């Protein structure tokens, strides 16, 4: 089965939004992911919100290439979360016809986190995007079971979602059965990459090591020890795939275009071996 692929922000993090769209079109990705808000104060991002010229250029690139915007990053739900403060992101997403917003959960009070998530879904509803909660082992949503529990506690809004990242599956307490338990309507896309496993290292990963790998040093599919074939066999076969492979040193060596090309080729080789 032919898959739909999106060029994730981390795989194209040297590019502006219109540049990312045009590169995706050149290489054969159907979508891009854009990080319009940083994942931490002062961290790298792409600048488009409040810059109407960049928005116009991005929309023009979409029109020229046929490439869509799949997801926008990132909303973090912490104590004191105010969904209304993200309206500029929602408006940008509507203008770009984005499908999803990536959400991280940081509030360690799970009931309050679920309430914040419910408010976010309600605030996003007029903009036509899903709020895809990504479980990450160092956050307050450490695994797939926690993500599903929070969504149920939030009343299971009709624009709720769970984002499955292969790296976080491998480094959390998530099992393949946990993935199979996620209702199909909550799955909108999944992220692919590879990395060394705990079994290969012979010891658990520290939080600092997990964050470093996630943000700076992922491997191409097939280069690490994650059982990617089994993982993606546990997910719907028609699920769109966000190719999220970042390795800052290797990207600098071969260049942005070649890196994104190789990431797509490696993903296709693993997920479509007969193609």
Q: What is the pLDDT of residues 42-69, one digit of tens each?
A: 999 999 999 999 999 999 999 999 999 9
Neighbours of 64 (CB within 10 A): 12
Distances from the Cα of 246 to the Cα of 54, 66, 127, 134, 171, angstroms: 24, 25, 30, 18, 17
Mean pLDDT of the chain: 96
Looking at residue 203, its pLDDT comes to 86
- Cα-to-chain-centroid distance, residue 214: 11
- Measured CA to CA, the distance from residue 34 to residue 120 in angstroms comes to 19
Spell out the domain ranges in the chain. Answer: 5-271
Higher-confidence residue of 229 and 275: namely: 229
Neighbours of 35 (CB within 10 A): 24
Q: What is the pLDDT of residues 112-139, one digit of tens each?
A: 999 999 999 999 999 999 999 999 999 9
Residue 1 binned pLDDT confidence (cut-offs 50, 70, 90): low
Looking at the domain covering 5-271, what would its CATH class be? alpha beta
Neighbours of 223 (CB within 10 A): 15
The mean per-residue pLDDT over the stretch 96-107 comes to 98
The mean per-residue pLDDT over the stretch 200-215 comes to 91
Looking at residue 275, its pLDDT comes to 53
Please tell me the chain's helix, strand, coil percentages from 3-state DSSP, rounded to the nearest 5.
45, 15, 35
Residue 3: φ, ψ to 5°: -100, 160
Query: Helices 256-271 and 17-27 meet at what angle, rounded to 10?
Result: 50
Residues 6+ apart with CB under 8 A from 22: 61, 64, 65, 67
- Measured CA to CA, the distance from residue 269 to residue 235 in angstroms comes to 17
Of the candidates 64, 76, 71, the one whose C-alpha atom is nearest the C-alpha of residue 93 is 71
Q: Where are the alpha helices (DSSP H) in the chain?
A: 17-27, 52-65, 87-96, 110-124, 144-153, 166-170, 176-181, 198-201, 207-216, 228-233, 248-254, 256-271
């Amino acid at each position: 089965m032919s898959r739909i692929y999106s060029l994730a922000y981390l795989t194209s993090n040297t590019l502006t939004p219109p540049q990312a769209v045009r590169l995706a079109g050149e290489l054969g990705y159907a979508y891009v992911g854009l990080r319009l808000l940083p994942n931490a104060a002062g961290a790298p991002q792409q600048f488009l919100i409040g810059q109407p010229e960049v928005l116009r250029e991005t929309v023009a690139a979409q029109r020229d290439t046929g490439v869509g915007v799949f997801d926008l990053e990132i909303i973090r739900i912490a104590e004191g979360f105010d969904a209304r403060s993200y309206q500029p992101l929602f408006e940008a997403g509507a203008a770009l016809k984005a499908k999803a917003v990536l959400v991280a959960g940081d509030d360690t009070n799970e009931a309050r986190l679920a309430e914040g998530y419910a408010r976010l879904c309600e605030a996003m509803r007029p903009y036509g995007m899903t709020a895809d909660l990504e479980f990450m082992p160092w956050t307050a949503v450490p695994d797939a079971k926690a993500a599903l529990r929070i969504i149920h506690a939030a009343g299971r809004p009709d624009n709720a979602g769970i984002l499955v990242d292969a790296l976080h599956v491998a480094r959390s307490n998530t099992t393949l059965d946990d993935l199979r338990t996620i209702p199909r309507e909550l799955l909108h896309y999944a992220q692919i990459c590879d990395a060394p496993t705990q079994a290969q290292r012979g010891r658990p990963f520290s939080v600092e090591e997990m964050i470093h790998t996630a943000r700076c040093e992922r491997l191409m599919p097939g280069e690490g020890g994650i059982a990617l074939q089994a993982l993606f066999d546990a997910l719907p076969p028609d699920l769109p795939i966000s190719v999220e492979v970042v390795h800052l040193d290797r990207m600098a060596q071969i260049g942005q275009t070649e890196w994104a090309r190789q990431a797509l080729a490696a993903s296709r080789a693993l997920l479509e071996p007969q193609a």
